[in-house]
Amino acid sequence: MRENDKDMLTGEPGSADTSPPEETKGAATTAYTEQNTKETPQQEDIQNDSETDKKKRPELSELESELERERYKTRYRSVFRSTVFTLVTVAAIAILVATLWMPVLQIYGTSMTPTLNDGDIVLSYKTSNLKRGDVVAFYYNNRILVKRFIAGPGDWVDMDDQGNVYVNGDLLDEPYVSDKSLGETNIELPYQVPDSRIFVLGDHRTVSIDSRNSSVGCVSNDQIVGELIFRVWPLKGFGLVK
């Protein structure tokens, strides 16, 4: 057997060189590098997207501020609705009270001067418990007149030429009258007040048309609006009506 063949046969098993040729290793390395190079832009895109998400993600303080703004809007709407409801309720109650129990009246004319003047605004109180000297409002021909209570049902009323008033023979003390006068009187004196009616006179006796004249006459209970109790305007006259 040839010497070269002997050497090949006597070689130890597994000792054969299996490493790829140098040229092959170079090619594999080049392919791997190119592949890594191709994947790099994708990795950069992923990294950029991650950084963008971080930038878009709100901070905790911003979230708390936005939550506080929403809570404020909710409280504001609740308070606004509550305020509107309260105002509407108060207005409705005021209108009901003004209509049923305390009508607000404005004075026109001069028949009640100096106690009340033209343009005064007063509150009246609905009551049937009137007494002599009270200032009352009553309906007359689709209007409201204001006069002073002088005598009640069954009382006898008399007046002299100087304008002094007598009720059941007693002279009335009338500090609210500045110009006593018999005025526009066309009823027969002394005069007895009918049942369920009251006798009224204006404080300005020379110009007032009242129960002394049959065109107005005595006032029935059904005509009475109420007693004038308080003047609210003008401010300089603010106070009780006396």
Model confidence, pTM: 0.62
The secondary structure of residue 206, as a DSSP letter, is T
What backbone phi and psi angles, to 5 degrees, belong to 28? -65, -40
Fold of 104-240: Umud Fragment, subunit A (2.10.109)
Q: State the chain's mean pLDDT as an integer.
A: 79
For the chain, first and last CA: distance in Å?
158
User: What is the spatial distance between Cα 105 and Cα 141, in angstroms, rounded to a whole number?
Assistant: 17
Q: Give me the pLDDT at residue 24, please.
A: 44
Is 6 assigned a catalytic role?
A: no
Q: Which band of pLDDT confidence, cut at 50, 70 and 90, is reported for residue 179?
A: confident
Of the two residues 111 and 37, the one the predictor is more confident about is 111
Of the two residues 16 and 64, the one the predictor is more confident about is 64
Contact 171, 177 (CB under 8 A): no
Is 25 assigned a catalytic role?
A: no
Q: Give me the pLDDT at residue 148, please.
A: 97
Which tokens belong to 116?
């009340």
- For the chain, give every domain's residue range: 58-100, 104-240
User: What is the spatial distance between Cα 226 and Cα 101, in angstroms, rounded to a whole number?
Assistant: 9
Catalytic residue among 124, 147, 208, 211: 147
Catalytic residue among 111, 124, 208, 211: 111
